[in-house]
Chain A
Amino acid sequence: MINSFINMMKKISLLVSFILMFTAKQTFAQEAADNLISGDFQGLTFNDFVQRIESQTTFHFYYDPSQFDSITVTISINKAHLPSVLDKVFSNTNWRYMIDKENRVFVTKGVALALDLPYGFFTGKHDTTETIAKKKSGAPAYITQKVTQEISIENKLYDIGIKRNYIPKGNVNIAGYIRDAQTGESLAGALIYVEHPHAQVNTDQFGYYSLVLPAGRHTLNVISPGMFDTKRQVMLYSDGKFDIAMEEKVVKLKEVLIETGKEKNIRSTNMGMDKISIVAMKQVPAVMGEVDVLRTILTLPGVKSVGEASTGLNVRGGATDQNLILFNGANIYNPSHLFGFFSAFDPDLIKDVTLYKSAIPANYGGRISSVLDITSLDGNDKKISGSAGVGPLTGKFTIQGPLIKDKTTFVAGVRTTYSDWLFKVLPKQYNKSSASFQDATIHISHKINAKNNIYFNGYLSGDKFNLNNDTTYAYHNRNANIKWKHSFNNRFYGLLTAGIDHYDYKVSASDNPVNAYELSYSIKQYKMNADFSYFLNNKHKIAFGLSSIYYNIHSGTFNPLGKQSLVIPDTVEAEQALESAIYLSDEYSISSKLSLDAGVRYSLYNYLGPKHISTYATDLPRQESNNTGSVFYPSGKFIKTYEGPEYRASARYTLSENTSIKASYNTLRQYIHEISNTATISPTDVWKLSDPNIKPQSGRQVSLGLYKNFKSNTIETSVEIYYKWIENYLDYKSGAILIQNHHIETDVFTTKGKSYGIEVLLKKATGKLNGWASYTFSRSLIRQNDPLAGEIINNGNYYPSNFDQPHNVSLIGNYRITHRYSVSLNVIYSTGRPITLPTGVFDYAGSARLLYSNRNEYRIPDYFRTDFSVNMLGDHKVKQATHNSWTFGVYNWLGRKNAYSVYFISQNGTVKGYKLSIFGSAIPFITYNIRF
């Protein structure tokens, strides 16, 4: 009974994947499910092996038994397709096989003849990728046929360029896009490589690759995370285009346990780079069931935040303002919603997220710790589809599809909260509160012609909250950009980007009419980038470009609100600056073992008038009393220029097929500072440009890593160590006033920082059980020992930064029980973050009060949390219009009261110590998603 149920499930599931591939109505083939092979074959003769397979499936083998009598087969298989099994059995032998449409398997020895027979040989049809597209409607397709077809694509020989009767001499170029076979989404960061002669290249952000190879026959191997590895046989005659479609892993119902080729981490020169697809993110249990980009990033080694109420990232000991957060190229200044509980990106629109934490490519600049590049979907180019989701806090809707067939695709989504009403049902002390947020994203990509593409991106997010008092906070991100991609030829293309990024916040209070005020603050930046990629040859891939950002910061306007208000309007003088950079980098494959990615970026920063600049006595502490005057610079005048080179280099040396070492050295400069004296990112934080009194921040990092894969590359391991120096990071003086401060340079001082650590990662990206485990040891220390800069902190010694959490362990696991059910588990441990606790008590103003001295001398208790969730896909009926899924889970299911902070407070005359927990109990959640 159970067996037959499971069998039925298998069939249904298979059918669904099949439907996903071939959208037209299909008849279901009974034998489809049965052609999966399972079993533990130990030391069988080839003959016995064949018999076992024939007994399980509808395949029939044709071979010469006398040639195989000395062969034994040892293999363990769980529900694999035959070609995968045979590939494994015949690997490193000169046996070849061919499967035809009638499930006949021809095995031959050493002869490439069978291998070269393309699919269609028996039917006389000429099969190309185009004809596959046609097959999607019409032709009866059995699962077996699909497998055969897939194999045939991999075995088929494609002619590139103008076909001739002979193979010409010299090198030719092959270029094209790597895409998802189902949705047409481009696959960025996919690796294409050729073994002989050694050549490899990663696809760029558009999924574009370009390789130069000697004319003749080659096997292109393609690897992309979350996709099935594939390969293509090509015959190169002259320069040509070749697009490759890859099958997504998740829709594959059963996988071969044995896999090859997952060696991207070994082969790539990228170091300290983590790329997570949305599929992986969706398997991680999330707070309130909201899939959260930044919280998933927080589970990676080297990434931390100060607590659960914060999505501010501290990457390898860097501050929260040292991350360049890009969403489709737009700079997002406040990436969080609802006081920092959620990140401001709608997960249904995200394709993937890439974090660069050590080797930062030269085309990125402006922040010194990391780059977080979030990419949205391109939009399905096959059909209009959408999804809607309902969670306890948010409702969301996305739609995507082609606008003009084969020309224009779009994806758009909105997400909004309905949390406001929640406060009404809560106990009285909360019912005057309100909180709401929204975000909207649109991405349109349009193909003008083969050489020109245009992309438009728009993003809006808004937050408003008021927690039981009369002060209302609101903030918004507004971003738009347009990109034009022009291919000069196969090897050379340029990307021109123009964009506007905007962030603003408003704080208003109206309870007391005399003091009623509105404080507003905004950052606007206009930017223009030109980026070029030139695939010189297989050894060199060159990128160069220039960028310019014009900043306009309205540093704060304080205005009366209402007629009775006596508030004096006060405006902190606006700031303007121009940040420009040129860069050049080269991915250089020195040999098949050694490759180098080296770049230099020269950045130039001009602080511009109109602006009054205070001057201070040079040999006295910078404070108001030492102000020697002020100089006015008119509009457009260059007040101060900072400039300098930034070096980016990383190298990879392959030790063996599954082991490599990498090293990198990076220097970076940053001209904008987030000034905050709270541990978290608060919506009222002030961003300040470097000026004559505030120097730019700079960072240097060296790192070294060892990468090794096990079990046919299904298990990736890595160890990275790093050491990092940070100069001119701003910290605040005791009692600093940061909002509406006309001379903020007197309330802050610069510090030197250093951080170092070791990160160990174990990752299994595929299989029924997948996920990652990591351990990080890291320290992050800062120091202020210059008496002229202001007060000396902790006697001028190095002291731990707010986010110094030496030990960190995370385990993110997902286990697929059946096609419909999977369970996920998170386990997170970290050392408590440093805090400043009082050293003593004194009596003042009628109460015991607290005496503080050294900063960050203590730590909050260690953090430990486990989450659990069950994901359930809806039924797999063929003809339903929609597909739905449920997620049930428990966040912090052990209910541990993890400390967010520990503090002492004077209450009713005495001093009391408290521990504050944000999520201090197990939090169950349920979400429902629908896809159509």
Chain B
Amino acid sequence: MKKYCSREIIICLLAVFFLATCKIPYNPVLKSSDTNSLVVEGYIDGAAPTSFKLSRSRRLSNGDTATRRVELNARVSIEDDHQNIFPLNEEGNGVYSSTGILNFSTASQYRIHIITSNGSEYLSDLVPFKPSPPIDSIGWKIKDNGVQIFLNTSDPNNSTKYYRWEYNETWQFHTSYYSNYEYDPNNNTVVPRTDQVYTCWQSDNSTAIFLGSSAKLANDVINEAPLAYIPPHDDKLSVLYSIWVKQYVLDANGYNYWIAMKSNTESVGSIFDPQPNETQGNIHCISDPAETVIGYINAGSSFEKRVFISNGDLPPGWNLLKDCPLYPNIPNNPDSLKFYFGGGGFTPIGVADPPRFPPAGYTASFIECVDCTFKGTNIKPSFWP
């Protein structure tokens, strides 16, 4: 009898132990509750047009299939504590905006006033107007082989303390093949291409909540607050990448509201995470105080900053060869063209060897390997260098 466990056995057992902790998609049956709370999202902004979006909460369903509802035909205005009223105009799709930048003052306090089409009236608490300090810098570093983008900001007056950021990412990318031809479905033929589909741009808004606080620090300094994380070898950094960050200033209660929303919706489920709970915003229904209103508004001047990261700045080896096989010869006959190109799965690249006219066939690959407009747009954004 062996007197001890062999090391191999232990390793295997422990691996089992930790892999055993697993999460699997799960959709419990929920009581169907018709939730229809007003959701108010926006910022009383002194540096950009003030814009609010009004929507309604919806039923939680598997795959989130319940209809998204926006609040139309409401009357929305910003008020200060000196009886000044700044009405917002309905822009459609539940968005209400000011025409141009409104002139707010740090000496006043502001609130939002909403009367919905069904006659309910909503009023937020008055909030101070807090201008944002500039974003000092936006940088990046390699973390777990990916790229972690971070932000530094500071307020020499030590009065900002609570920050929130949103960002928009835009990136340029190439397909694996440069195509000179395209399929004309109307005539079931392959014709020379008129636009380029090799270089495109894609864009995305942040979907997570990014917050920072210097309340526990001696100086009002935010150091390397993490923003977007780009996983290793991601297409976003294959050519040139840009991130445009918008910084908002919050008050302490607003910060706590956002923290609660973040922990309720983004960091639940681990062993020690707090249980979710309802959180009260600062907007109230004055016609029915019991009605739940979602959202917290703050006022201030936002600050925006854009930076670029080039693939050349990254350590070598970021880009991986994509799984894009070249099909050397799709025969140039109506049946084949219809089958390969008409079905949408393939896109022609060039003339198959040996070249002759009319071509005996075309080289081709999957659409995502050839046509970048499959994922993005080939119109260069205005800010792109």
Contact = CB atoms under 8 A, between A and B. Distances in A.
B18 A905 contact: no
B55 A842 contact: yes
B70 to A, nearest CB: 9
Contacts of A558: 216
A513 B223 contact: yes
A914 interface: yes
Interface in A802-860: 802, 835-853, 855, 857-858
Contacts of B39: 842-844
Interface stretch (B7-15, B322-330, B358-366): B7-15
A642 B210 CA distance: 46
Contacts of B266: 905-906
Contact of B275 (A419, A517, A679): A679
Nearest to B168: A846
Contact of A735 (B1, B5, B279): B279
Interface stretch (B27-35, B79-87, B188-196, B305-313): B27-35
A392 B39 CA distance: 52
Given A678-B272, A840-B35, A850 B277 contact: no
Contact of B27 (A430, A845, A875, A913): A913
A380 to B, nearest CB: 24
Interface in A418-473: 419, 422, 425-426, 428, 430
Nearest to B208: A847
Given A426-B15, A843-B39, A913-B27, A920 B21 contact: yes
A851 B18 CA distance: 32
A838 B35 CA distance: 11
A910 B205 CA distance: 13
Nearest to A851: B57
Contacts of B26: 899, 902, 913-915
A392 B8 CA distance: 11
A845 B261 CA distance: 10
A910 B10 CA distance: 40
A2 to B, nearest CB: 22
Interface stretch (B59-67, B99-107, B344-352, B376-384): B59-67
A289 to B, nearest CB: 9
A918 interface: yes
Contacts of A857: 31
B118 interface: no
Q: Which of A425, A737, A849 has the most C-beta atoms of chain B within 10 angstroms of its own C-beta?
A: A849
Interface in B64-111: 64, 66, 68
Contacts of A910: 64
Nearest to B268: A903
Contacts of B187: none
A925 B14 CA distance: 9
A901 B214 CA distance: 33
A566 B58 contact: no
A912 B20 CA distance: 21
B16 interface: yes
Interface in A377-406: 390, 392-393
A900 interface: yes
How big is chain A's contact interface, by range? 35 or more
Contacts of B46: none
A680 B25 CA distance: 23
A356 B269 CA distance: 33
Contacts of A419: 14
Contact of A903 (B14, B33, B269): B269
B261 to A, nearest CB: 7
B276 A916 contact: no
B260 interface: yes
Contacts of A552: none
Contacts of B13: 288, 392, 923-926
B23 interface: yes
A844 B223 contact: no
B273 interface: yes
B280 A734 contact: yes
A904 B21 contact: no
A19 interface: no
A904 B60 contact: yes
Interface in A884-925: 884, 897, 899-906, 908-921, 923-925
Contacts of B320: none
Interface string A40-73: 0000000000000000000000000000000000
A851 B3 CA distance: 57
A918 B24 CA distance: 11
Contact of A920 (B20, B33, B274): B20
A846 B58 contact: no
Q: Which of A678, A851, A905, A921 has the most C-beta atoms of chain B within 10 angstroms of its own C-beta?
A: A851
Interface string B207-220: 11100001011110
B249 interface: no
A568 interface: yes
Contacts of B260: 734-735
A878 to B, nearest CB: 17
A242 interface: no
B265 interface: yes
Contact of B264 (A426, A848, A850, A924): A850
Given A567-B216, A677-B274, A839-B60, A919 B279 contact: no
Contacts of B41: 843-845
A846 B206 contact: yes
A4 interface: no
A570 interface: yes
Contacts of B294: 842, 844, 851
Given A422-B11, A850-B265, A735 B25 contact: no
Contacts of B273: 678
A797 to B, nearest CB: 15
B4 interface: yes
B207 A918 contact: no
Contacts of A514: 217, 221, 223-224
A131 interface: no
Given A842-B294, A858-B28, A905-B266, A911 B60 contact: yes
A233 interface: no
Nearest to B257: A735
Contacts of A836: 275-277
Nearest to A516: B223
Contact of B219 (A512, A566, A855): A566
A919 B20 contact: yes
A9 B20 CA distance: 40
B295 interface: yes
Interface string A490-534: 000000000000000000000011110100000000000000000
A728 interface: no
Interface string B149-165: 00000000000000000
A771 interface: no
A106 interface: no
A841 B267 CA distance: 16
B275 A919 contact: no
B319 interface: no
Contact of A390 (B5, B68, B205): B5
Nearest to A735: B260
B336 interface: no
B272 to A, nearest CB: 5
Q: Which of A842, A915, A921 has the most C-beta atoms of chain B within 10 angstroms of its own C-beta?
A: A842
Given A678-B272, A910-B64, A920-B20, 16 more contacts: A422-B18, A428-B144, A512-B223, A514-B223, A566-B217, A566-B219, A836-B276, A837-B30, A839-B30, A839-B31, A852-B277, A855-B275, A902-B28, A917-B24, A925-B13, A930-B3
A-B pairs with the 5 shortest C-beta distances? A840-B35, A514-B223, A915-B26, A734-B277, A903-B269
9 contacts: A288-B13, A568-B218, A678-B272, A734-B279, A841-B60, A849-B264, A852-B277, A858-B30, A921-B16
Interface of B: 1, 3-5, 9-11, 13-28, 30-31, 33, 35, 37, 39, 41, 55-60, 62, 64, 66, 68, 144, 166, 205-209, 214, 216-219, 221, 223-224, 256-257, 259-261, 264-280, 292, 294-295
